[in-house]
Amino acid sequence: MIAGSLTSSDVLVIGGGISGVSSAYHLAKAGVAVTLIEEDRIGGRVASSYGNMGLLVPSHALPVASPGVVAKGLRWMLRSDSPFYIRPRWDRELLRWLRGFHAAATHERAVAAAPLLYRLQAASVDLYQALGARLAKRADLERTGALYLVREQAAWSELREEAALLREAGVDAALLQADEVRERVPAANDSIIGGVFYREDARVVPDRLVVELAELARREGATIHEGVTVFRAVRDGGRGGGHGGRGSGRIREVYTSAGTLTPRQVVLAAGAWSPQLVASLSLRLPIQPAKGYSITVERPDACPAIPTHLYEAKVVASPMGPGRMRLGGTLELAGMDRSVNPRRIQAILAAVPRYLNGLYDLRVLEIWRGLRPVTPDTLPIIGRPRHADNLLLATGHGMIGMSMGAITGQIIARLATGEDPGFDLTLLSPDRF
């Protein structure tokens, strides 16, 4: 029962954000017949992969669920102009997620995850660069390094401690005095007392990267369908599987708005929408949508040439392709709500002149919000869940999905073809929750 032009291929990828297109590219390159289905269009505004900051960040090797975050988060939590906000509401999944986040936010767990997160992201930046000059040019991919600026002594101590931990994990981190900061970012104002430069970080225009990678995937033979929605999947044995819902079983059929497919394997890469899709298989994915905002403006003369993190404000300013600059920040746990809170947009804009000169009266080109798919331990979910033999998960990437995109795709292709993924993926296992 196949409608329209859809045909069942060996592997079906659900979701055309960075995780999906990268998986499709690496699968096709490995000679696998792959079909990708995207509800919106590739490079469209709904995906978190559209308007994010485009930072490729081997330096983000400490999970966000790390010591200090919980105390800070509690202080910020109820202020609607703070960088972190939880909309107060009764939601069992959210409470469960918050308990998991609290349990994961220990020094030991952060330090244990750091070497893996660093190696994965360093490999990912290399893989993106290996995709060639055309992609680098069109997506403005450049390894510029990134700079963190601080204004307050307490934050400076915190940033130095973080840099020391990251160095132990292998990250190249250089502490800079205020005058050295200004050499790299001349717009840094007199309130800046120091900074850290992470040499290995890179930047990209995210939606261009997705579109270009999808194009490469097509050239390798992948079939990509836009404007098609996956409704649900069915395992052997009927609804949710024939073993009381949690037993093992294969996905037999996938129902879409353009017909039913019977792929041999399924890759779920549907970002913040992933939990609702696996629910039809009686699988639980503890992913919360974490809303963030970006503001794209005409590039002012004072725009930093490299991604610049305004540390205490949790705001980033970065060049975004020709003639543009993007500001971004905020993590808001408000469910699947995609409304825009003007106070947060104002809070992001107001933070900038506290750190950088010459960045006022900005001409806004686009205000965007996206839903990051965040797990309780803030580590991605990559692998095959115990209870569905032919399902691979490539989701839960939280704040580092662009950065992890290339390596996620390569790992998924290796797992689908029975190859060694090249990394110990225990910390990212779908069965760890």
Ligand X SMILES: Cc1cc2nc3c(=O)[nH]c(=O)nc-3n(C[C@H](O)[C@H](O)[C@H](O)COP(=O)(O)OP(=O)(O)OC[C@H]3O[C@@H](n4cnc5c(N)ncnc54)[C@H](O)[C@@H]3O)c2cc1C
Residue closer to ligand X by CB (options 240, 373) is 373
Task: Kindly tell me which residue out of 11, 12, 38, 84 binds ligand X, with binding defined by CB under 6 A.
Answer: 38
Please classify residue 71 by burial: count the beta carbons closer than 10 Å to its beta carbon, then call 0-12 exposed, 13-18 middle and 19+ buried: exposed
Residue closer to ligand X by CB (options 156, 202) is 202
Does the footprint of ligand X cover residue 43 (CB under 6 A)?
no
Does the footprint of ligand X cover residue 375 (CB under 6 A)?
no
Does the footprint of ligand X cover residue 403 (CB under 6 A)?
yes
Please report which helix (H) or strand (E) contains residue 317, including its range: strand 315-319
Least gap, CB of 178 to ligand X (angstroms): 25
Least gap, CB of 49 to ligand X (angstroms): 3
Does the footprint of ligand X cover residue 127 (CB under 6 A)?
no
Q: What torsion do the CA atoms of 367, 368, 374, 378 make, to the nearest 10 degrees?
A: -40
Task: Kindly tell me which residue out of 9, 223, 280, 294 binds ligand X, with binding defined by CB under 6 A.
Answer: 294
Does the footprint of ligand X cover residue 292 (CB under 6 A)?
yes
How many C-beta atoms surround the C-beta of residue 219 within 10 A? Answer: 11
Cβ atoms 71, 131 nearer than 8 A: no
Least gap, CB of 408 to ligand X (angstroms): 8
Type of residue numbered 33: A
Of the candidates 381, 384, 286, 374, the one whose C-alpha atom is nearest the C-alpha of residue 11 is 384
Phi first, then psi, for residue 420 (nearest 5°) are -70, 130
Task: Kindly tell me which residue out of 313, 402, 407, 416 binds ligand X, with binding defined by CB under 6 A.
Answer: 402
Total of residues contacting ligand X (CB under 6 A): 42
Does the footprint of ligand X cover residue 144 (CB under 6 A)?
no
What is the distance between the alpha carbons of residues 379 and 368, in angstroms, rounded to a whole number?
A: 24
Does the footprint of ligand X cover residue 275 (CB under 6 A)?
no
CA dihedral for 229, 231, 237, 240, sign (positive or negative): positive
Least gap, CB of 308 to ligand X (angstroms): 12
Does the footprint of ligand X cover residue 48 (CB under 6 A)?
yes
Q: What distances in angstroms separate CA 349 from CA 111, 214, 357, 369, one per listed residue? A: 33, 33, 13, 15
Does the footprint of ligand X cover residue 430 (CB under 6 A)?
no
Task: Kindly tell me which residue out of 269, 310, 317, 388 binds ligand X, with binding defined by CB under 6 A.
Answer: 269
Does the footprint of ligand X cover residue 52 (CB under 6 A)?
yes
Does the footprint of ligand X cover residue 19 (CB under 6 A)?
yes
Does the footprint of ligand X cover residue 47 (CB under 6 A)?
yes
Q: Which three-class secondary structure state does DSSP give residue 35?
A: strand
Paired sense of beta strands 34-38 and 223-226, if any: parallel
- Cα angle 108, 407, 196; round to 5: 55
Does the footprint of ligand X cover residue 370 (CB under 6 A)?
yes
What does 239-261 look like in DSSP terms, one character per residue? TT-SSTTTS---EEEEEETTEEE
Does the footprint of ligand X cover residue 124 (CB under 6 A)?
no
- Residue range at the interface with ligand X (CB under 6 A); choices 124-132, 154-162, 167-175, 396-404: 396-404
Least gap, CB of 42 to ligand X (angstroms): 8
Residue closer to ligand X by CB (options 46, 193) is 46
| Cα atoms in the 13 Å half-sphere on the side-chain side of 257 | 11
Does the footprint of ligand X cover residue 351 (CB under 6 A)?
no
Q: Which residues are near ligand X by CB under 6 A? A: 14-20, 37-40, 46-49, 52-55, 229-230, 269-273, 277, 292-294, 328, 370, 372-373, 395, 397-403
